[in-house]
Amino acid sequence: MHPDLDRILSGSAVRAAPQLIGWRIACGDLHGVIAETEAYQSARDLGCHASKGRTPRTETLYARHGTLYVYLCYGMHWMLNLVCDEVDEPAAVLIRGIAVAGADPRRSNGPGKVTRALDVDRRHHGLHLDAAGCPVRLLPPTAPAPRLRRGPRVGIAYAGPVWAAKPWRWWADGFPVAEAPASGLPLSSAATRSPAPRS
């Protein structure tokens, strides 16, 4: 794993999520640039799967940072998450959108579209980015850090008003996110390279 990526993923998901935007992600010969992320941090976060307890399903969230947490949503869409933080502290960043060179960004502006674009599914669950043979790779940005916007996470009304309202979703300014608030809070491009608070 690249040293900068190791440093990013070793921190909280809330810190890592904005810093991952602009990183290149590949699976085999398929690749894109991360353009939208969401953070899920700890068992206290009622939007996080770990809030339901440590179970066989959620065990991977407690693994070493850099582990892939891939699950099926609504029986239809695979969701790709990167485990963050310390071992036994459940946290992950959901890759919500990627930009693929030469392709309409609306074909990859949702987490289910991301996994289809990269051909990621249950085969990749539990793999570590450092593992020999892991086809998923993250590579450093080659372009200047984009300006970011942020807003609440998508589809977690079940978490209650406090957790559902946390602005723990980030996207590159101009990326056509599938579900954007009326006015996403703007951030400077420096936000992708500097720490963010845990809450």
Q: What are the tens digits of pLDDT across the range 103-112?
A: 999 999 999 9
**Can you tell me whether residue 169 is helix, strand or coil?**
strand
In a domain, 162, yes or no: yes
Under 8 Å between Cβ of 138 and 5 = yes
Under 8 Å between Cβ of 103 and 176 = no
In a domain, 36, yes or no: yes
Rounded distance, CA 136 to CA 127, Å?
A: 9
Q: Name the DSSP class of 116.
A: H
Tokens of 104: 């309409």
Band of pLDDT at residue 194, cut at 50, 70 and 90: very low
State the CATH number of the domain containing residue 50. Answer: 3.10.300.10
- What average pLDDT does the structure give for the chain? 90
In a domain, 40, yes or no: yes
Band of pLDDT at residue 153, cut at 50, 70 and 90: very high
In a domain, 139, yes or no: yes
Closest CA to 171 of 129, 110, 90: 110
Mean pLDDT of 77-102: 97
Buried b (16+ CB within 10 A) or exposed e, 113-152: bbbbbbebeeebbebbbeeeeebbebeebeeebbebbbbb
Band of pLDDT at residue 199, cut at 50, 70 and 90: very low
Rounded distance, CA 137 to CA 47, Å?
A: 27
Query: Which segment of 3-12, 16-25, 62-71, 190-199 scores lowest on mean pLDDT?
Result: 190-199
In a domain, 20, yes or no: yes
In a domain, 132, yes or no: yes
**Can you tell me whether residue 5 is helix, strand or coil?**
helix
Band of pLDDT at residue 75, cut at 50, 70 and 90: confident
Tokens of 97: 């959108």
In a domain, 123, yes or no: yes
Rounded distance, CA 166 to CA 134, Å?
A: 33
Number of domains forming the structure of the chain: 1
Instruction: Give pLDDT, residue 10.
Output: 98
In a domain, 191, yes or no: no
- Residue ranges making up the domain that contains 82: 3-175
Mean pLDDT of 121-149: 95
Under 8 Å between Cβ of 160 and 152 = no
CA 115 to chain centre: 12
Instruction: Give pLDDT, residue 181.
Output: 60
Closest CA to 116 of 134, 131, 101, 100: 100
